[in-house]
Amino acid sequence: MIEIPELAFGCLAAGTAGAFALGGGLWRSRREQDRLRRETAGLRHQAEQSLRAGVEEAERVRQAFTAELEHLVTRRMPAEATRTAHPHVPVPGPAGTAGTATEPVLEALRTAILQERKRVDAAARAGMRGATREIQASLYRLQDLLHGLQERYDDPELAQVLYTLDHENEQSLRRAQVAAVVCGAWVGLAREESHLVDAVTGGQARLAGYRRVRLHNHLLPGTALVSHAVEPVAIIAAELIDNALRHSSPETSVVVSLEHVDNGVTVTVDDAGVGMSPDERAAAQRMVAGTDPIMFSDLGDPPRMGLAAVGQLTRQFDLSVDLSSRSPYGGVRAVLLVHGHLLSHVDPELRPAAASTSPSTRTGEVPRPRLPDDEADREPASRPAPGTAPVAGHEAATDGTPESAAGHPAPAHDRPQSGAGDLPRRRRRQVQPDRAALIRPSAAEAAAPARSPEECAAALGALQSATAAAREEAARTEGTDPR
């Protein structure tokens, strides 16, 4: 049997030991707790610090971004917009490192502006094209009327008025035509194969100062342009001569010379003006080269259309114009090169050049080449040195020129002192004495062999189908009505 005191003692001892053990554990846990509390506080402090720093950083980034955006909106985008019209305007870079992300915005802006600009420009050109086309057509009708009146009335006073009107009309026509061409229209007039000198002289006649132009024609008689190149060459010649006239003093003359070169014919326009600065020259050269598309809105106010029209035509018709050299007369030298494939040959006897065109200085040369390629190949060898050409040519021309200039068959008696070079002409002239009396009609019939109805039909059919094909082509490329 266990006694109660023993039991109590045992219990007490166990209780004491348990209390001791418990107190130790408690003490240890309190220390642990303190340590934890301290760590927590430290961590909390750290967290608070880093949070504050984060907020500050975010605020800084926000401010930078706002500044960048403001810089983009107030400085860079306007500059970019201006730059599309004026390429020399610099666009400022991003304000800070954050700005690199805004580059695509500018890029998109640039594209959008360009597209819009092209669209507006095309609309303006279309409107202008429509208007000028109508004006041009009505001026051509007026020209027909004036020519009819000139044929009909020969009273000097009336004729004087008619000449003046005709000249005014030509000038208006030229302006309308140039505007139309700049706006991408067709030149507006189909011509037949014509003498090159006719085209250049025709261009000259369209200008107010045409009396100041001296034309030296060193081409072989009969050098002609294929039909679709006639009007473009006339327009380009008119614009180049106009430029020369405008930029030289009224007392000086503008010298135009036509010469054969290796792969075609050149029309050189020299003026004795003050010339152009290198910048102007470069700009003009860019314009006439026709490589960049022409923006109507780039031409200034009032628009300077002349060189732009030249550029448009050189691109369309594979002509080349060079303005990069100085003229020996001090001003600008403009050179239009007409390539061989745009040249052809017209018989100067059957279809002489216009009476007002300068006679060729080259009538002495005998076998007339029938093919432009031949002609081009043969040329350089037989060509006189540039400096001596006009003078020497002129002497040669004095006895031989008439029939090439007027194209009129000069009657027989006066074809004496000619060298071997004149033989072909002599042969042709033998038909003429009986023609001198009858005037106009017989010669053509004599020259043109009679055609059978079938041949006529074939020729007309070919003409018609070619016209239809060309119209279709024009309608396709221009995307407007086929006119």
Instruction: Restricting to residues 142-161, name those near other proteins by CB under 8 A.
Output: 143-144, 147, 150-151, 153-157, 159-160
Nearer to other proteins, 67 or 410 (CB): 410
Q: Which of residues 419-438 bind other proteins (CB under 8 A)?
A: 436-437
Among 72, 129, 210, 276, binds other proteins (CB under 8 A): 210
Contact by Cβ (8 Å): 321, 314: yes
Q: Which of residues 348-367 bind other proteins (CB under 8 A)?
A: 350-352, 354-359
| Only segment of 239-247, 250-258, 302-310, 412-420 that touches other proteins (CB under 8 A) | 412-420
Among 5, 87, 416, 441, binds other proteins (CB under 8 A): 441
Closest CA to 323 of 305, 341, 310, 304: 310
Smallest gap from Cβ 164 to other proteins, in A, equals: 7
- Under rule CB under 8 A, residue 408 binds other proteins: yes
Closest CA to 393 of 421, 417, 360: 360
Nearer to other proteins, 198 or 375 (CB): 198
DSSP secondary structure letter of residue 12: H
Smallest gap from Cβ 140 to other proteins, in A, equals: 7
- Under rule CB under 8 A, residue 402 binds other proteins: yes
Q: Which of residues 464-483 bind other proteins (CB under 8 A)?
A: none
Amino acid of residue 96? G
What gap in Å lies between CA 480 and CA 446, rounded to an integer? 45
Nearer to other proteins, 155 or 251 (CB): 155
Smallest gap from Cβ 311 to other proteins, in A, equals: 23
Strands ordered across the beta sheet of 254-261: 213-217, 254-261, 264-270, 332-339, 320-326
Beta pairing, strands 213-217 & 254-261: parallel
Nearer to other proteins, 146 or 308 (CB): 146
Smallest gap from Cβ 277 to other proteins, in A, equals: 34
Q: Which of residues 312-351 bind other proteins (CB under 8 A)?
A: 350-351
| Only segment of 3-11, 110-118, 141-149, 244-252 that touches other proteins (CB under 8 A) | 141-149
Among 230, 235, 284, 288, binds other proteins (CB under 8 A): 230
- Under rule CB under 8 A, residue 100 binds other proteins: no
Smallest gap from Cβ 445 to other proteins, in A, equals: 8
Nearer to other proteins, 225 or 276 (CB): 225
Instruction: Find the distance separating the first CA and the last CA of the chain, reported in whole Å.
Output: 139
Nearer to other proteins, 143 or 316 (CB): 143
What gap in Å lies between CA 355 and CA 198, rounded to an integer? 9
Long-range contacts of 2-11 (CB under 8 A, 24+ apart): none
Closest CA to 432 of 418, 412, 407: 412
- Under rule CB under 8 A, residue 222 binds other proteins: no
Among 132, 405, 422, 425, binds other proteins (CB under 8 A): 405
Nearer to other proteins, 86 or 152 (CB): 152
Residues 6+ apart with CB under 8 A from 289: 311, 314, 321
Strands ordered across the beta sheet of 194-195: 194-195, 223-225, 343-345
Among 171, 177, 194, 257, binds other proteins (CB under 8 A): 194
What burial letters (b/e) apply to 209-236, b meaning 16+ CB within 10 Å?
Answer: bbebbebbbbbbbbbbbeeebbbbbbbb
Contact by Cβ (8 Å): 195, 203: no
What gap in Å lies between CA 103 and CA 89, rounded to an integer? 17
- Under rule CB under 8 A, residue 239 binds other proteins: no
Q: Which of residues 163-192 bind other proteins (CB under 8 A)?
A: 163-164, 166-167, 170, 189-192
